[in-house]
Amino acid sequence: MDYRGPYRVRATEKPHPVIEHPEDCIVRVTRSCICGSDLHLYHGLVPDTRVGSTFGHEFIGIVEEIGSEVQKLKVGDHVLVPFNISCGRCAFCKQELYGNCHESNPEATAVGGIFGYSHTAGGFNGGQAEYVRVPFADVGPTVIPPDMDPDDALLLTDVVPTAYQACEMGGIKKGDTVVIFGAGPIGIMAAKCAWLFGPSRVIVIDHIDYRLEFVRNYAPCEAYSFKEMDDVVEFVKKTTDWFGADVCIDAVGCEASGDGWQTLTGRKLLIQAGSATALHWAINSVKKGGIVSIVGVYGPTGNIIPIGNVVNKGITIRANQASVKRLLPRLIEHVQSGRLNPKGIITHRIPLEDVADGYRIFSEKMDNCIKTVLIPPSAKR
Amino acid sequence: MKNKIIDATKIIGWGVDADPENEPTYPIKKYTGDDHKRSQWTRPSLQPAKVEILKSTERPYLPAVFGTPYPPRALSGVFRRLAFTFSESMNRRWLLLILADRMDVVEGLISDVLHARFPNLVKERGLGVMLKHKPGMFARKVAIRLVILGLIGGIVYYNKRKNNL
Ligand SMILES: NC(=O)c1ccc[n+]([C@@H]2O[C@H](COP(=O)([O-])OP(=O)(O)OC[C@H]3O[C@@H](n4cnc5c(N)ncnc54)[C@H](O)[C@@H]3O)[C@@H](O)[C@H]2O)c1
Ligand SMILES: [Zn+2]
Ligand SMILES: [Zn+2]
């Protein structure tokens, strides 16, 4: 795929990627996904998104070529590739912060390298393509277990680890009430994963009815539309005996709707780094001493949030890009045992050539879309 | 006055309440103390920079790997280079980059035309699927654009007439 500007993408023939570092490999992509994070790029909200870029940080594929220092991975391996690019040996990787590697992004220290996620995340081309260059081949890429469905493997590159980490950072304890903002792929999967930590209630809030209906059955959980509420925070307080949720998860990020002022300043005028409506609600809906876990993505400048309430209520805020590699062993177990069924959220399969349609459908939440998979022409043969 | 180097271990009471079990970043982070060794790890081999790579002012050298597609070009490139003279903490860095991104779109169109490629804007913008699944939204978008075009056309026509009079 080829980014041409906000709301404009197309499929173009591009040069075959080459090995640029002895620890690189080249992967022939068999499937990739469009992610909610890609929408921030598609909408032109991520600084330093250069025209011509290939997006795509959720992909699996077959190793076609390896660099001279690659030892573990072999040509022909079918691998899932974590969305973060990590060296495995810097101070951050050593502490399993694989999403915060210090050796993969020259352009910004505020974020590690990510495939196909603008020059602000390292300037790497992504996996919504036929071939992709994958650095540190022995660190990130993981051979897909033979008994695993490739679609499940595909969702282990980002959606499941992000959702799981959102719950983990929330420090969910047995008996807790968890409120999740957003019923996109991440919020839906977070509702599913939350149960693994033993809460007594899982509540999802969004405004798109088909998504609320989906998560109600898939997780399963309670799901409510904020369109039908006068005041979201009051609703959460009321349903928790006027106490507040034990844990709130922001699975929406910088393109939240629901508050005209936030939308105007964050998404139209770009005075703040996106609209922080969901985060605002999360902070105000959590109990005193509660935990707010953020996986929704925000820009590098600043946002208007009620930080005073964070102080006065003694709230703990935890957030990060998911550390996919750290979580994979546990999550593979969950998938193999049937506790998680990631591929259940895939609703659309679109040929890579029609990538523009795929983006529009997901962006506009058309045709009951939850998760879209792109199939490159070379994978269909 | 110059700052003195302080040996923290000589301070009375230093570390008496340190509790290694109190590690609120766990499990996101498996604390090993490596943070305090700073940049002392054995670095991987370094990728040679064969194209222009813009580097954040908040790091001293390039990382071991980086992406090489789409180095800065044309006028947008001038703005990108300027943006990278400011730290990540400065809003103007990011606003300049957004500005450069918008210029890049125009440069992309020019480059398409120079390569005799006329972008299919209807397909690139996915307007076909929008017409199919959300005809109301499609109609609204078309109407807004027609109104804007109409207004511009009207102003141009009015100015022409005024000048001719
Ligand atoms: N931290 C990470 O590692 C990581 C990884 C993947 C995705 N993400 C981020 O997670 C977020 C969600 O991703 P997704 O793929 O589910 O995207 P998505 O766009 O499909 O889902 C977002 C959902 O939030 C809903 N929403 C909008 N405003 C809301 C509000 N005020 N309250 C509640 N819901 C609201 C939307 O209707 C939509 O259903 C994005 O910001 C994405 O960038 C983070
Ligand atoms: Zn993603
Ligand atoms: Zn690293």
Q: Where are the domains positioned within chain B? A: 120-165
Task: Test B29 with A97 for CB contact under 8 angstroms.
Answer: yes
| Angle A24-A133-A89 from CA coordinates, rounded to 5° | 40
CB distance from B43 to chain A under 8 Å? yes
| Angle A89-A92-A97 from CA coordinates, rounded to 5° | 110
The end-to-end CA distance of chain B, in Å, is: 74
Closest-CA residue to A19 (of A137, A126, A143): A137
Residue of the nearest CA to atom 15 in ligand 1?
Answer: A36
CA-CA distance, A178 to A197, in Å (whole number)? Answer: 11
Ligand closest to Cα of B44 equals 3
pLDDT above 90 (res B1): no
Compare A265 and B21 and report the one with higher pLDDT: A265
For residue A299, the cross-strand partners are none
CA-CA distance, A150 to A251, in Å (whole number)? Answer: 25
Question: Residue ranges of the domains in chain A?
Answer: 2-158+325-380, 159-319
How many angstroms separate the Cα of A345 from the Cα of each of A156, A160, A191, A368?
A: 13, 11, 12, 11
pLDDT at A192: 96
| Per-residue confidence band for A257, with pLDDT thresholds at 50, 70 and 90 | very high
Contacts of A360 in chain B (CB under 8 A): 125-127, 129-130
CA-CA distance, B117 to B111, in Å (whole number)? Answer: 8
* % of chain A beyond a pLDDT of 70: 100
CA-CA distance, A142 to A123, in Å (whole number)? Answer: 23
CA-CA distance, A97 to A322, in Å (whole number)? Answer: 9
Q: What is the ipTM of this complex?
A: 0.89
pLDDT above 80 (res B13): no
CB distance from B66 to chain A under 8 Å? yes
Pick the CATH number of A159-319 from 3.40.50.1100, 3.65.10.10, 3.90.1170.50, 3.40.50.720: 3.40.50.720
pLDDT above 70 (res A381): no
pLDDT above 80 (res B11): no
pLDDT above 70 (res B22): no
Q: Which residues of B50-79 are buried (b: 16+ CB within 10 A; e: fewer)?
A: eeebbbbeebeebbbbbbbbbbbbeebbeb
pLDDT above 90 (res A134): yes
Contacts of A356 in chain B (CB under 8 A): 123-126
Closest-CA residue to A263 (of A249, A278, A277): A277
A171 CB neighbour count, 10 Å cutoff: 17
Pick the CATH number of A2-158+325-380 from 2.30.30.100, 3.90.180.10, 3.10.440.10, 3.40.50.720: 3.90.180.10
Q: Which two tokens stand for residue A89?
A: 């040996």
Closest-CA residue to A342 (of A30, A33, A28): A33
CA-CA distance, A239 to A300, in Å (whole number)? Answer: 35
Q: Which two tokens stand for residue A59?
A: 């992909």
How many angstroms separate the Cα of A100 from the Cα of each of A142, A162, A322, A327?
A: 19, 14, 9, 15
Closest-CA residue to B98 (of A251, A27, A274): A274
